[in-house]
A and B are shown apart, each in its own frame.
Chain A
Amino acid sequence: AQKITQTQPGMFVQEKEAVTLDCTYDTSDPSYGLFWYKQPSSGEMIFLIYQGSYDQQNATEGRYSLNFQKARKSANLVISASQLGDSAMYFCAMREGGRNNNDMRFGAGTRLTVKP
C-alpha cells in the first residue's frame, strides 16, 4: 500500500505568491516523522523541513512551513513569497517509528514551476 501520496504532479505559482504542496500519508504507528525535500534540476536532494508526530506546533524553516493535520493524515508544505529559485521537484517522505528508525518512504513528487 502506498504510504505517501502526492496528488499534484505539477504546480504553477506566480513569483512572490504563496503555494501549498499537498502530501497525505498512511501509518498506524503513533510515532513517525514527516519530511520535505527539494530536488532542483541539478539533481541533488535538499532537506527542507521536518515534523514529528508528537510535535505540538507546525514546523517552520524560513519561507517553508508544514501544515500538519494529524487527524487527516496530511502534511502539506507551504512556501511563502515564492522565488524563481524555488522551481524544482518537491518530495514528501515519512519515517515510521522513532528517530532510530531510518527507513524512509517517499512520495512520487510534485514539480513546482514559479512564473516571473
Chain B
Amino acid sequence: NAGVTQTPKFQVLKTGQSMTLQCAQDMNHEYMSWYRQDPGMGLRLIHYSVGAGITDQGEVPNGYNVSRSTTEDFPLRLLSAAPSQTSVYFCASSWQGTQYFGPGTRLLVL
C-alpha cells in the first residue's frame, strides 16, 4: 500500500510552459485534492474531486486545470506557467474527512 504518490519531486519550468503534476492513490478514496504551500501562508486548496468524473474549484484555482477519469489518479495541469506558481504542491486523498498527503512536488517557474 503506497498511499498517495506524486511525480515529479522537483521541476523547473520557464514562464509560459505547460506541465502536468501527477498524483495517484491506492486506498480507493473517493475524495482527492490539490494544495499549494507558499511560505507563511499554510496550504491553500486549488481543486478537489469527490469522485471519478467530478471536480470543483477550491480557494485558488486560477491557472490550473484538473480531471478525474479514475478513482486512483488526479493530475493537476498548469496551462501556462507563471513565476507566481512557484510553490510546493501537495496532493491528498481523504477518508471520512481526514486528508492524507503525498510527499509533494517542488515547482520553480523562471
A residues near B (Cβ < 8 Å) are: 4, 33, 35, 37, 43-45, 47, 50, 91, 93, 95, 98-109
Chain B interface size band reads 20 to 34
A37 to B100, CA, bound (A): 10
**Whole-angstrom distance between the Cβ of B67 and the nearest chain A Cβ:** 18
Question: In the complex where A102-B31, A102-B50, A103-B58 touch, is A44 in contact with B41 (Cβ < 8 A)?
Answer: no
Q: Let me know if B44 is at the binding interface, CB within 8 A.
A: yes
Residues of A within 8 A of B99 (CB): 35, 47, 102, 104
Residues of A within 8 A of B96 (CB): 99
The 5 closest A-B pairs by CB, nearest first: A106-B42, A45-B101, A99-B97, A106-B43, A102-B31
A4 to B48, CA, bound (A): 20
Q: Let me know if B40 is at the binding interface, CB within 8 A.
A: yes
Give B29-57 interface residues, CB cut-off 8 Å to A.
31, 33, 35, 40-45, 48, 50
A63 to B94, CA, bound (A): 24
